[in-house]
Structure 1
């Protein structure tokens, strides 16, 4: 990667921004007394509404007709909505560790699909990065712990949590498919693509409402304020940046950066909720940071070397 490639710079910056804002999901969700799909609906609805008004303000509503819909655009939005809704629902029926593990299999799935079907390359530095961030995720969410007797693996399954585990698995597969289908139709502008993503995500969540039958009767005025806030910050903000990132990065490149969300969530837990951080979690966070910036750092180094060589050969 050359850092003279503006698309790559935009992609990495957008990916880090998206992962940062996604890390605030838990912070907002803790202040909302509602089911997970109700919270997910806010994130999708506000994204669709705000992008509609942005396009209208810019006089570009005609672009919604100019760029024809395709199956990949519909699928990307549908899986975006259903995977996030399934994830939050999974946290109510299984352990948080299991839910996080399964949804973060998603970036690995998208990377494999992109390598197989889109023929995206897998460079050694990228393989190192994706391995580092995945191991870091296992450490930071507590699935792997250091004990006096050795290493303890915390993931567990039982009949009681089977339904929640299947929801979590569905969220991971959905997340991977969302990222994979996001690699298609890179000709569509980011704001147009984001609008359709949010629209079809809303449709996917509404289909789930048929089975979950959610209620908002228990929500207070304070709950609604937080519900609106998560829609704007973690919906409109995070997921629109995610759409921009998937247009400009290879699937595996985005996957490496997406795990930064785990670090942000941990920092919020420490600073706001006074949650402890173990040595294993600290190492996990460092691995995620190392993996997330390794490819960017290598690209910067190579760019500086190329500039230096160019100066040397210039008479």
Structure 2
């Protein structure tokens, strides 16, 4: 594998990256809200996200008259793997929530950004400032607190993760979801010369192929789904598929792995505050509020570090090709 390439079609814009990362994390936070209204297996729900994303990005590229770019930019193993792991990690995560605790499932999938950061530092030689390490640590601890894995009681902080033989399969699926998420983000750092919408389209295509392959083993059923289920199924595909995963793909093109990781945990705040508290009236504990504050502070500090840093002040030596993202 080689490091991400740079070309005349590939300006790296931190502002575009952070805006798309923030949108992606916000929309991802509504996955649970949509999923609660759909009576279907998790992998079939994930199928909607990949299908809607692929169709809508193809429509956008066609509308812009750029279909030839799908052939102009040759496919590579990293593009295939990025899409494959995107589909597999989401299917594995939803499966995990059905066979182990939500806390365990959340913890494992959110080691994904940490994995992608470490891989990028080792293999892509992406530099990491000390302040970025602290920001990443803050948002990770914040994630554990807001998801209920860490709590505050009379004896101090306590860690509430539990394992058992009964939940072994679910825990392994959760672990795979985290590894898959990390690999999706890591492989997304390659081929940055490809416009974001073109990369997103191929990501959805190969994610769709990976999920379809899983259907051979999971054999999902749809006979129980009502018209309301189908409406929500399409809705999650548009909002949490096309919207969330599409902007996620665009963000990874412009941001280093650590930069994206720090912002990605905003999803936890959205899920707990906007969905859990405001929509379903689920109260937040003091530990969860502290965790949410740590995610906000850690994420925003990384945005400021990157935007005010010397790398951002250096003028781009490339120009943006018309119509690319």
Q: TM-score range, shorter-chain basis? A: over 0.9
Aligned length: 300
Distance 1:14 1:76 in 2: 18
User: Mapping of 1:124-163 within 5 angstroms?
Assistant: 124-163=130-169
The corresponding residue for 1:271 is 278
Do the aligned partners of 2:78 and 2:190 also contact (CA within 8 Å) in 1? yes
How far did residue 55 of structure 1 move?
1.2
The answer to whether the Cα contact below 8 Å between 2:262 and 2:302 also exists between their aligned partners in 1 is no
Where does residue 293 of structure 1 map in the other structure? 300
Aligned to 1:35: 41
* 2:318 aligned residue: none
Would the alpha carbon gap of residues 46 and 258 (structure 1) be closer, same or farther in structure 2, given more than 3 Å must change? Answer: same
1:231 aligns to what?
237
Structure 2 spans left out of the alignment, 5+ residues: 1-10, 314-325
Return the offset for 1:82: 0.3
Cα distance in 2 for partners of 1:302, 1:173 equals 30
Q: If you compute each CA radius of gyration, which structure gives the higher value, 1 or 2?
A: 1
Structure 2: distance between partners of 1:81 and 1:275: 30
Unaligned runs of 5+ in 1: 307-315
Cα shift at 1:152:
1.7
Structure 1 stretches of 4+ with a deviation exceeding 6 A read none
Please name the residue that 1:281 is paired with: 288
RMSD of aligned alpha carbons: 1.3
Candidates 91, 97, 107, aligned match of 2:97: 91
Alignment match, 1:65: 71
Q: 1:8 to 1:300 in 2, by over 3 A?
A: closer
Offset, 1:149: 2.2
Give how far 1:299 is off.
4.6
Q: Work out which of the residue numbers 231, 241, 245 in structure 1 matches 2:247.
A: 241
TM-score (norm 1): 0.93
124, 129, 135: which one aligns with 1:123: 129
Aligned position for 2:81: 75
State the alpha-carbon separation in 1 of the partners of residues 84 and 17 from structure 2: 22
Q: Secondary structure at the match of 1:152?
A: strand
Moved more, 228-237 or 143-152: 143-152
What's the CA shift for 1:302? 6.0
Q: Distance in 1 between matches of 2:104 and 2:150?
A: 12
Shift of 1:6: 6.8
